[in-house]
Amino acid sequence: MRTRHWVPEVRSIAVLRANAIGDLLLAYPALEALKAAYPQARLTLLAREWHARFLRGRPGPVDEVVALPPIKGVSLPDTEEGEAPEEFYAGLRRRRFDLALQMHGGGRYSNPCVRRLGARVTAGLRAADAEPLDRWVPYVYYQHETMRYLEVAGLVGARLDGPPEPRLAVTRDDWAQLARVLGPLPRGLVAVHPGASDPRRRWPAERFARVADRLNRPVVVTGTGSERDVVARVVAAMRTPARAVVDELGIGGLAALYAACDLLISNDTGPRHLAAAVGTPTVGIYWCGNLINAGPLTRAQHRPLLSWTLACPACGGNRVDIGMKDCGHRVSWVADIPVDAVAREAADLLT
């Protein structure tokens, strides 16, 4: 659907979004809105190599992915140095993008990148330390990411005509990978994902185990290589057998696994977004501030459990004010969420 900000004669669109799987999925409704407003345009995602592998041949709004070279604050953390060669930008300018959209944060590093594409119209986010684009909305930290990027899409006349929750297609290749690695799966399977990149977002492993035991279902515990230890702790703490799946599946295979499950119980992390996007109900463990930015927007199938911890449990430091200096402690901020509350929501979704 398009609105009055719609741009005529658009044949090619570039969107900068080069983060992790959860970040991609939070922006997916905005990409869908762009495709609906400009159905004849080719939508190019400027991202990373894994995006290219994951989205190749997958139904959805993205027509192609251009993998970015190392760029500070864009495809690299802002603590690492890197800059794309001029030839890279020259090659993109030859594509003559009509629209270039920045959906990659406040814009300090990403707006200069988008401006160098030479698009007819640029649009995106702008924090106080960022260059302006042709059309922009202020970057304010506490805003839901999906709504943030729908606002960006609205700058060029695109509006979502449907629910704002991301939806992702599971392909034959995804199912084939799952079958090849895990074989036949039991009926009534429940998945548990006890990891998260930030330890502050991790609920204690033994509590995941207690909830999983109470469901009386077959259980699979998923994680990445860096989460191997916490996956092992959950499996070891359970009274009933569970299957650990750590780095055995690619993202597509993991999407198929979650699609085959009746429920995922997870911390606030990318796999929860992935499971929700393929239609699996989820119970999510959230710190209250993170729910604002990345929580599920609907409640029929998704139940977030909230911690209202407002100060670091180790030192009492304030992290609600994003301007405060990080105290450096990485203890759990969500350990106060009770097992009974998580088990109750899980049981409700399963029935």
The rounded average pLDDT for each run of 10 residues, N- to C-terminus, in the chain (351 residues) is: 84 97 98 97 98 96 97 94 95 97 97 97 97 97 97 97 92 98 97 96 97 97 96 97 97 98 98 98 96 96 96 81 75 95 98 91
Tokens in use for 54? 């994951």
C-alpha–C-alpha distance, residues 156 and 137, integer Å: 12
Measuring CA to CA, which residue among 80, 81, 75, 64 is closest to residue 104? 75
Helix pair angle (339-350, 205-214), 10° resolution: 40
| 339 SS3 class | helix
C-alpha–C-alpha distance, residues 63 and 313, integer Å: 46
Domain with CATH 3.40.50.2000 in the chain: 12-154, 172-350
C-alpha–C-alpha distance, residues 78 and 75, integer Å: 9
**CATH architecture for residues 172-350:** 3-Layer(aba) Sandwich (3.40)
C-alpha–C-alpha distance, residues 340 and 67, integer Å: 45
- Per-residue confidence (pLDDT) for residue 97, from 0 to 100: 98
Q: How many CB atoms lie within 10 A of CB 323?
A: 6
Fold of the CATH domain 12-154: Rossmann fold (3.40.50)
Do residues 26 and 117 make contact, with C-beta atoms less than 8 angstroms apart?
no
- Per-residue confidence (pLDDT) for residue 1, from 0 to 100: 63
- Per-residue confidence (pLDDT) for residue 3, from 0 to 100: 67
Measuring CA to CA, which residue among 351, 314, 7, 304 is closest to residue 154? 7
Measuring CA to CA, which residue among 194, 173, 186 is closest to residue 249? 173
Q: Secondary structure of 92-160 in the HEC alphabet?
A: HHCCCCCEEEECCCCCCCHHHHHHCCCCCEEEEEECCCCCCCCEEEECCCCCCHHHHHHHHHHCCCECC
